[in-house]
Amino acid sequence: MDNAKYYYNSKTCQYERARINPGGIIVYALGVIVVSALFLSGLIILNDYVIVTENERALRQENKMLSEHKKILNQQLASIEETLSTLKKEDQDFYTRLFSAPPEQSSSVGATISKEQILLADASSFSDWMEVVRSSSSRLLEKSGRSNAAFSDAIHIDKTDLDFIRSIPSASPIAQLELDKLVSGFGKRVNPFHKGMYKHEGIDFATSRGTEVLAAADGEVVTANTSDLQAGYGNIIEIRHGNGFSTRYAHLENVNVRRGQRVTKGMVIGTAGSSGGSMAPHLHYEILRDNESVDPALYIIEGLSGRQHYQLLELSKKQNQALD
């Protein structure tokens, strides 16, 4: 059966077979596409704005709650950042006042959560961030509570304690201390003259003649002697600091103080030299506590970081020859 279509041609007064029109087909196809797109758009709009499922209703309610909590969380984050900054500054100030040196800056960088990460997170991540911040806040409050208790109770300093702290010779006895200048420490060492082992009562800092020697703490000069003998301590200063602490500075070139004079910590009291029984220019430094010699390296902390103080202690432990 022939399904061909014909149309009447008025010019030729006869029926002619209809030919396929490409333009008509394109228009027809476009019409179908447009209608389909409009129909699909209508279905999508209907589904999004008219039909609401239980799951969508729950998600909308959750989004609403998150939007409200977002403002509160932003305020909490700002408060936490301010608290952390204040605590860090107070800790650094306390360290600086206690050790007369800025604290070491940590080189480790831990994982941190920025405010922007939290506030720009999606709903699922936002909930996780909230839990992290809540946990961090709890730990911070707990740590702050323990720190406050420690500062108020365990390390509370009253007037008597402050007087004792001021009497401790914790400053360096020479200006511009270089750690590697400590060439002989406290304890059993080789005597530079008879080469036998003997107890070295202090520590030796190798330094050039004329290097300024400083008082390690406030106190009163009880000895300020000069000597031309090529033996013993030579030119020596001894300062009594109170609470059983005294310091000695031996083999000096110049003595700039007199007996009975009050000195303050860091005051120039003389210059290093090689007087008395000395092998080379240096400062022999001793600390006595209740008239017993103690290791001075344990007490020199002001102006040094923890790492530098540890290095000083390690240098003091080396078994070698003393300079006096």
The confidence band for 108, taking pLDDT boundaries of 50, 70 and 90, is very low
The predicted-structure confidence for 150-176, as pLDDT tens digits, reads as follows 565 555 566 667 788 889 999 999 988
Both tokens of 93, joined, read 């100030």
The answer as to whether 162 is a domain residue is: no
Using pLDDT thresholds of 50, 70 and 90, give the confidence band for residue 254: very high
Q: For residue 203, give every residue at least 6 positions away whose Cβ sits within 8 Å of its Cβ, in sequence order, or none.
A: 182, 184, 185, 186, 284, 285, 295, 296, 297, 316
| Angle in degrees, CA 305, 308, 314, rounded to 5 | 145
For position 261, what pLDDT does the model report? Answer: 96
Percentage, residues of the chain above pLDDT 90: 33
Q: Residues 118, 213: one domain? A: no
Confidence of residue 116 (pLDDT cuts 50, 70, 90): low
Specify if 160 maps to a domain: no
User: 236 exposed, middle or buried (CB, 10 Å; 0-12, 13-18, 19+)?
Assistant: buried
Q: What is the pLDDT of residue 84?
A: 74
Diameter of the chain measured on Cα atoms: 151
Distance CA 294, CA 186 (A): 8
Do 311 and 225 lie in one domain? The reply is: yes
Q: How would DSSP label each residue in 108-127? A: -------HHHHHTS-HHHHH
Please check whether residue 197 lies inside any domain of the structure.
yes
Q: Are residues 248 and 143 located together in one domain of the fold? A: no
Average pLDDT over residues 108-120: 52
Alpha-carbon separation of residue 171 from 89, 256, 267, 302 (angstroms): 24, 19, 11, 5
Distance CA 94, CA 88 (A): 10
Q: Residue 301 belongs to a domain with what CATH number?
A: 2.70.70.10
The whole-model pTM stands at 0.58
Shared domain for 186 and 123, answered yes or no, is no
- Please compute, for residue 197, the number of CA atoms within 13 A of its CA located in the half-sphere on the CB side: 4
Is residue 147 domain-resident?
Answer: yes
Which backbone phi and psi does 305 adopt, to 5 degrees? -80, 170
The band of 128, judged by pLDDT with boundaries at 50, 70 and 90, is low
- Minimum mean pLDDT range among 36-40, 151-155, 189-193, 272-276: 151-155
Residue 24 pLDDT greater than 90, yes or no: no
Query: 226 and 150: one domain?
Result: no
191 and 305 belong to one structural domain: yes
The answer to whether residues 172 and 144 belong to one domain is no
Q: Domain for residue 96, yes or no?
A: yes
pLDDT at 47 exceeding the cut of 90: no
* pLDDT on residue 16: 73
Q: Which amino acid is present at 305?
A: S
SS3 206: strand
Please give the average per-residue pLDDT across 193-201, as a whole number. Answer: 87
Cα–Cα distance for residue pair 31/27, rounded to 1 Å: 6
Mark whether 150 and 38 lie in a shared domain: no
User: Is the same domain home to 42 and 83?
Assistant: no
* 154, 185, 218 - which closes a domain: 154
Distance of alpha carbon 284 from alpha carbon 322, whole angstroms: 10
Neighbours of 44 (CB within 10 A): 10
- Residue 1: inside a domain: no
Domain that holds residue 130: 74-102+114-154
Rounded average pLDDT over 116-124: 57
What is the end-to-end Cα distance of the chain in Å, rounded? Answer: 131
pLDDT at 89: 79
Q: What is the rounded distance in angstroms from the CA atom of residue 280 to the CA atom of residue 276? A: 10
pLDDT tens digit sequence for 86-95: 777 777 776 6
Burial of 127 per CB tally in 10 Å (0-12, 13-18, 19+): middle
The verdict on 173 and 216 lying in the same domain is yes
Note whether residue 159 is domain-resident: no
Residues 262 and 309 in one domain: yes
Shared domain for 250 and 283, answered yes or no, is yes
Total number of domains constituting the chain: 3
Is 62 a member of any domain?
no
204: which strand partners?
184, 284
Determine the pLDDT at residue 111. Answer: 46
Q: How far apart are CA 229 and CA 235, in angstroms?
A: 9
pLDDT value for 176: 83
Average predicted confidence (pLDDT) for the chain: 81
Q: Are 274 and 253 in contact (CB under 8 A)?
A: yes
Q: Which of 44-53, 162-171, 176-185, 249-258 has the highest mean pLDDT?
A: 249-258
